[in-house]
Structure 1
Amino acid sequence: MTKIKILWVDDEIDLLKPHIMFLSKKDYDVTTCQSGMEAIETIENERFDIVFLDENMPGLSGIDTLAEIKTKQNNLPVVMITKSEEEYIMEEAIGSKIADYLIKPVNPNQILLSLKKNLDHSRLVSERTTSHYQQAFRKLSMDLSQVNSHQEWVDLYKQLLYWEMELDQLDDSSMTEILESQKQEANSAFFKFITKNYHSWFDHKADDAPTLSHQLFKTKVVPELKDEQPTLLVVVDNLRYDQLRAIEPIINNHFKKEQEDAFYSILPSATQYARNAIFSGLMPLDMQKLYPKLWLNDTDEGGKNMHEAEFLDNQLKRLGMHISHSYHKITSLDQGRTLADNFAQYKSQDLTVIVYNFVDMLSHAKTEMQVIKELASNDKSYRSLTTSWFKNSPLLDIIIKAQRLGFKLILTTDHGTINVKNPTKVIGDKNTSTNLRYKTGKSLTYNEKDVYAVKNPSDIRLPSINMSSSFVFAKGDYFLAYPNNYNYYVKYYKNTFQHGGISLEEMIIPFAVFLPKN
């Protein structure tokens, strides 16, 4: 095995011989230098794994030497060692991307710990994470066999997501495969839970129902509007819980999270149903009855989410909320930039609502474009692509401006999405809806074990296209495929991200409140 090579730079290097002997006995290869200039020349001629660098040296100082090292080998870890604890020195060193910071006099164990932390970090984290997940696996399996309420499902889903994102950091695909099978098992059990309980959640006497899409604004948003602080409500279409987790560290640079909660998307877990329900405060059947000119069914021509601003106005009036507000839908980069440039004009409003459509467009692009299919081939890469977009998006610019203007930030979504892998055949007439995760129409034929079938849509507060229409919702990672051109259809849509059906990813979705950092 190749020895770890250390460069130790200190003008009093002779005093450090005991430390160097200690490291040599531990099988580290230590090279020494007595000045910054000598260190820079040495680095040009040899490769090192890490540098220990004295901050206070005559001639080229430690800080200046650090800067020179970083220009030559930016990824080489440098541990700064100093007698001084002055804050400005620490800040300057940290700003120059040091790997660690030690105060003299150092002892051998401090040095060894720093080496482990910087050079053996990945292996140690990997071993620890694998061991802890193996222990958690048994508990998750036990919890999965006992979960029996909507809140218990939220808790279990969050645990699965935690481990999924922890295992993202490892190279061990076997652990990821085990977790993936556990998620599939959880989705099968969740499907049974929904088919058993969903219809009862619309009974006014139901005492164990979650907050659903149409109740979100009244129960969770309105209480946040009681103070004088301007509020920015951002609904990122199609944002799953794991995607929020992925972008949250970026948001945390500007806001601190005050509250996080989950709610359930209504069925179908699709934009025209779930997002209209959020803004109207009504289930689709009630929207159709109260606002027949604003509601469109699946088979009707025209955009299905064109009236969210009107729905929001009407809901605020029904709730007796006489507040100043505005609504903005962003579907392009130019629209996002324009809103970011002009955002300051909304600081005097009580509520500013933004619907941002990028993640939804990303999931559709993955279906249509080969390059996106390759970039977002699984959940891990889908999260990564979402994070990359968010870091460079006008939405982040808007959020930063909102923080500077003292806005409260509420971030949520309408539904999630799932990577579909298993086709199941469905047959309907030419008026049957086209979504891959749910169908509505008459005389539908399907495999009963793969779908949740609702013969009477009004039971779950959905409208009917005609007198004999029914709904079916796909289970887990299934997608609904027609028998004609079946093989082409299956190949085209397999491993794409879809929404509208029953899965943890689609139905359990986040609601988070953030306060601006000073």
Structure 2
Amino acid sequence: MNTIKILWVDDEIDLLKPHIIFLKKKNYNVFTCKSGTEALDMLDEENFDIVFLDENMPGLTGLETLHEIKEKKDSLPVVMITKSEEEYIMEEAIGNKIADYLIKPVNPNQILLSLKKNLDHSRLVSEKTTSNYQQEFRKIAMDLAMVNSYEEWIDLYQKLIYWEIQLEDIEDAGMFEILESQKNEANIQFGKFIDKNYANWFKPKTESPIMSHTLFREKIVPEISKEQPTLLVVVDNLRYDQWKVFEPIINNFFKKDKEEAFFSILPTATQYARNAIFSGLMPSDMEKLFPNYWKNDTDEGGKNLHEEDFLNSQMKRLGLNHFNYEYYKITNLKNGKKLAENFKSLKDNDLSVVVYNFVDMLSHSKTEMEVVKELASNDKAYRSLTLSWFKNSPLLEMIQQAQQLGFKLILTTDHGTINVKNPSKVVGDKDTSLNLRYKTGRSLSYDAKDVLEAKNPHELHLPAINMSSSFIFAKGDSFFAYPNNYNHYVSYFRNTYQHGGVSLEEMIIPFVVFNPK
């Protein structure tokens, strides 16, 4: 028996008897009244699931009643019914968060459709989404067995993200588990693909994807011009799925011109990948050509203190010194607010580069802070936390101002991050690097099945700290743990977000270009 309670407010309610009889036959419980004042009194006494509200009534108008209803019960769906098609009424009603808008005369089926859309919507969407994913599941499984190029891996990963976001709000936990197992299988196969192909991407005459060190030259430079200022935002540690959940907010201000994925270099860590973007060089070349700027893992001091210097040298090398450009790094809220307040001064630059460190700080602080660990306990929560931050950040203020000032907007990142679950034992000497997803040092002992090995770092264009040092990169959702104090270490770091290794989440990342609306 359907117990849905409808309140129908219309000063000519007697003319709607056929509609009300129709709904009662469908087991809806319909209450009626003839004025806005009466409706507000009834809402104080009863809990209704939905309100149908006539716009043109004597006394309190429909819009005035709507405003009062929303003040009392903001989440109660209200369907506005009106004879008028005047734009200001529609805009006012939509601005007050109506659930639907119907033009008189309405027929019973329109009313039924509106009820289903607003009250059965989540169930219907859930059923449809589950059914569609079940069909797509087999295709993804077949693709997984066949995928053999970096383009195919990008397509497959984007499909998995699409379904992950589609399925996250449905009640069917079983479906989500199936998707999770598909993601895990995809990362196992992706690890094998990178193991086999990554080193070849640096060889001459080999088809290779756009990567960190080629991104600026190949993708960013063609977008810079004297005719329109460009804002380049590099959000540190931004996964592809996180980008997809705040894309709709940016779409309010900008039209998307292009969206492409590119590959972070290994290690997928800030000092390697982000320095590679700004220098246009691989780490071994940075070390050789700029020994004053480059720091290895075991060196003292900050590893990303010279991005602006690297950018200057790349602009000069590419013959781009005729462009006016500035570089800003935002590492805390105070810096972000200050840049947002002074954003208008950037309009005279041809290129303004803003590195925004928040997501990186969030994922690292998750390891340190129990509160954040609880808030971002899984990928769905991590996306939600990122979205909440973005909606309230100075970065969004800058993007809004960039639209008003006619900027082109480029949004990208240096690498992604993965929720680590499986510890993998590693042994090294006291100079071994500390990152949980990659290690570099001498005499490393490890479980070969969990890692991509680079016994000769120069093959991957990485610096060798000494003659016998090598690199290892954790695959999938593994993380490295030392045998000493193993259980404490594992429980502390398991289910935290880390980066530096080989996974779809860390390596396949977004590059998006927008023009202002």
Structure 2 length as normaliser, TM-score? Answer: 0.99
The residue that corresponds to 1:91 in the other structure is: 91
Which piece of structure 1 moves more, 85-94 or 312-321? Answer: 85-94
Report matched runs for 1:447-462 at 5 Å: 447-462=447-462
Cα distance in 2, alignment partners of residues 453 and 47 from structure 1: 63
Cα distance in 2, alignment partners of residues 129 and 24 from structure 1: 30
1:174 matched to 2:178: no
The residue that corresponds to 1:298 in the other structure is: 297
Superposition misfits of 4+ residues, deviation over 6 angstroms? none
Query: Which SS does the other structure have where 1:483 is aligned?
Result: coil
The residue that corresponds to 2:469 in the other structure is: 469
Report matched runs for 1:396-407 at 5 Å: 396-407=396-407
Cα distance in 1, alignment partners of residues 185 and 364 from structure 2: 27
Q: Quote how far apart the aligned CAs of 1:75 are.
A: 1.3
The residue that corresponds to 1:72 in the other structure is: 72
Report matched runs for 1:71-470 at 5 Å: 71-206=71-206, 208-226=207-225, 228-322=227-321, 323-470=323-470
Q: Quote how far apart the aligned CAs of 1:403 are.
A: 0.9
Cα distance in 2, alignment partners of residues 92 and 60 from structure 1: 15
Query: Which SS does the other structure have where 1:229 is aligned?
Result: coil
Which piece of structure 1 moves more, 371-380 or 64-73? Answer: 64-73
What are the superposed Cα offsets for residues 114-145 of structure 1, whole Å, 9 maximum, x if unpaired? 00001111100110111111111111101111
Contact 2:226 2:350 in 1 (8 A): no
What are the superposed Cα offsets for residues 17-49 of structure 1, whole Å, 9 maximum, x if unpaired? 111110111111111111122111111111111
Q: Which amino acid aligns with 1:33?
A: C
| Alignment gaps of 5+ in structure 1 | none
Q: Quote how far apart the aligned CAs of 1:62 are.
A: 1.0
Q: Which amino acid aligns with 2:480?
A: L
Q: Quote how far apart the aligned CAs of 1:227 are.
A: 5.3
Query: Which SS does the other structure have where 2:227 is aligned?
Result: coil
Q: Quote how far apart the aligned CAs of 1:249 are.
A: 1.2
What are the superposed Cα offsets for residues 77-132 of structure 1, whole Å, 9 maximum, x if unpaired? 11111111111111111112111111111111100000000111110011011111
Query: Which SS does the other structure have where 2:431 is aligned?
Result: coil
Q: Quote how far apart the aligned CAs of 1:246 are.
A: 1.1
Q: Which amino acid aligns with 1:88?
A: Y
Q: Quote how far apart the aligned CAs of 1:2 are.
A: 5.1
The residue that corresponds to 1:486 in the other structure is: 486
Q: Which amino acid aligns with 1:385?
A: L
Aligned length, in residue pairs: 516
1:9 matched to 2:9: yes
Cα distance in 2, alignment partners of residues 68 and 394 from structure 1: 33
Query: Which SS does the other structure have where 1:433 is aligned?
Result: coil
Cα distance in 2, alignment partners of residues 268 and 126 from structure 1: 39
Q: Which amino acid aligns with 1:225?
A: I
Q: Quote how far apart the aligned CAs of 1:485 are.
A: 0.9
Cα distance in 2, alignment partners of residues 155 and 358 from structure 1: 28
Query: Which SS does the other structure have where 1:215 is aligned?
Result: helix
Cα distance in 1, alignment partners of residues 114 and 61 from structure 2: 22
Cα distance in 2, alignment partners of residues 430 and 217 from structure 1: 37
What are the superposed Cα offsets for residues 309-361 of structure 1, whole Å, 9 maximum, x if unpaired? 00000000110112110000110111111111111111011000011100000
Query: Which SS does the other structure have where 2:452 is aligned?
Result: strand
Cα distance in 2, alignment partners of residues 304 and 370 from structure 1: 27
What CA RMSD, in Å, does the superposition of the two structures yield over aligned residues?
A: 0.9
Query: Which SS does the other structure have where 1:347 is aligned?
Result: helix
Cα distance in 2, alignment partners of residues 142 and 477 from structure 1: 23
Query: Which SS does the other structure have where 1:217 is aligned?
Result: helix
Cα distance in 1, alignment partners of residues 194 and 296 from structure 2: 24
Structure 1 length as normaliser, TM-score? Answer: 0.99
Q: Quote how far apart the aligned CAs of 1:256 are.
A: 1.4
Q: Quote how far apart the aligned CAs of 1:292 are.
A: 0.8
Cα distance in 1, alignment partners of residues 181 and 226 from structure 2: 46
Cα distance in 2, alignment partners of residues 15 and 87 from structure 1: 26
Q: Quote how far apart the aligned CAs of 1:171 are.
A: 2.0
Query: Which SS does the other structure have where 1:47 is aligned?
Result: coil
Q: Which amino acid aligns with 2:38?
A: E
Cα distance in 1, alignment partners of residues 274 and 514 from structure 2: 21
Which piece of structure 1 moves more, 480-489 or 278-287? Answer: 480-489
Query: Which SS does the other structure have where 1:424 is aligned?
Result: strand
Q: Quote how far apart the aligned CAs of 1:470 are.
A: 0.6
Query: Which SS does the other structure have where 2:348 is aligned?
Result: coil
Q: Quote how far apart the aligned CAs of 1:247 are.
A: 1.1
Contact 2:55 2:62 in 1 (8 A): yes
Query: Which SS does the other structure have where 1:355 is aligned?
Result: strand
Cα distance in 2, alignment partners of residues 307 and 92 from structure 1: 52
Cα distance in 1, alignment partners of residues 30 and 226 from structure 2: 61
Q: Quote how far apart the aligned CAs of 1:472 are.
A: 0.5
Q: Which amino acid aligns with 2:238?
A: L
The residue that corresponds to 2:36 in the other structure is: 36
Query: Which SS does the other structure have where 2:382 is aligned?
Result: helix
What are the superposed Cα offsets for residues 236-255 of structure 1, whole Å, 9 maximum, x if unpaired? 11000001011111111111
Cα distance in 2, alignment partners of residues 211 and 390 from structure 1: 27
Query: Which SS does the other structure have where 2:81 is aligned?
Result: strand
Q: Which amino acid aligns with 1:306?
A: L
Cα distance in 2, alignment partners of residues 431 and 171 from structure 1: 48
1:50 matched to 2:50: yes
What are the superposed Cα offsets for residues 49-92 of structure 1, whole Å, 9 maximum, x if unpaired? 11111111122211111112112222111111111111111111
Q: Which amino acid aligns with 2:394?
A: P
